[in-house]
């Protein structure tokens, strides 16, 4: 009986450790999305419902945790790009990817900060990132070859457009968290070829008062603006 108990204990501990690891990563994903990269490992431990010592046993520092969380995000981003590249309609495939990317950045503060500010120098991160660029290139090439995209649009233009929409989303979020959808549609309308139907603008424009309110929210102390 003692021998059986000894054999079972390691399996139970490994399962507990795996569950704690998953809880920590999921908690970090939620916090990074809501609050950006300024969170602490104590915050993650509280959200995950584990002791901070458990977090430090799994991750020596915050950068290690950021790396794991955003490797997952980049993997999902690559899968979305590859799925859009396989879309039977080249234009709708491009729209699908732009919508995914804009939604992901506009609703995930931490992911946007990582993409713009942080160099995650892990081999796995670079491999996943290198999956995204060829897929986006394929999306653009297919749309251009089909005559539904302006011929001088490059894959780097798509990334720039997505970050432009994200910047507007960050600016207007305190006033209208959905306004970025309007500017995503305007942007897509701007790069389409003339024979493609324009997208309807799904959200009304900001009023002058709302622009002023957004400016005030962005410059107010403790507004949580990005640095």
- The pLDDT tens digits of the residues spanning 201-211 come to 888 888 888 88
Does residue 12 have a pLDDT over 80? no
Total domains in the fold of the chain: 2
Specify whether the CB–CB gap between 70 and 111 falls below 8 A.
yes
Model pTM?
0.78
CATH code where residue 65 lies: 1.10.357
Does residue 68 have a pLDDT over 60? yes
Q: Show the tokens assigned to 195.
A: 């024979």
Q: Which residue has the tokens 């024979």?
A: 195
What does the alpha-carbon distance between residue 123 and residue 120 come to, in Å, rounded to a whole number? Answer: 9
Residue 10, pLDDT score: 43
Percent with pLDDT over 70 in the chain: 85
Same domain for 132 and 197, yes or no, is yes
Residue 79, pLDDT score: 94
State the chain's mean pLDDT as an integer: 84
What does the alpha-carbon distance between residue 149 and residue 133 come to, in Å, rounded to a whole number? Answer: 18
Which domain does 195 fall in, by range? 61-219
Neighbours of 184 (CB within 10 A): 28
CATH code where residue 46 lies: 1.10.10.60
Q: What mean pLDDT do residues 119-143 have?
A: 81
């Amino acid at each position: 009986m003692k021998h059986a108990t000894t054999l079972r204990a390691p399996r139970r501990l490994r399962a507990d450790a795996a569950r704690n690891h998953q809880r920590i990563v999921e908690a970090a994903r939620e916090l990074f999305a809501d609050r950006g990269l300024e969170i602490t490992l104590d915050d993650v431990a509280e959200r995950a419902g584990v002791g901070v010592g458990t977090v430090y046993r799994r991750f020596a520092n915050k950068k290690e945790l950021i790396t794991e969380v955003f490797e997952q995000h980049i993997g999902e981003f690559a899968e979305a790009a590859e799925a859009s590249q396989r879309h039977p309609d080249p234009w709708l495939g491009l729209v699908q990817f732009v919508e995914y990317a804009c939604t992901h950045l506009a609703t995930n503060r931490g992911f946007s900060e990582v993409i713009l500010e942080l160099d995650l120098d892990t081999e796995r991160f670079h491999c996943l990132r290198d999956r995204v660029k060829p897929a986006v290139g394929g999306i653009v090439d297919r749309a251009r070859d089909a005559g539904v995209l302006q011929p001088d649009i490059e894959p780097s233009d798509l990334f720039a457009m997505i970050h432009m929409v994200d910047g507007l989303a960050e600016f207007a979020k305190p006033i209208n968290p959905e306004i970025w959808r309007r500017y995503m549609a305007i942007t897509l309308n701007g790069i389409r070829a003339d024979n493609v139907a324009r997208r309807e603008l799904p959200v009304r424009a900001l009023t002058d008062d709302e622009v002023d309110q957004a400016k005030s929210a962005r410059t107010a102390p403790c507004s949580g603006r990005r640095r």
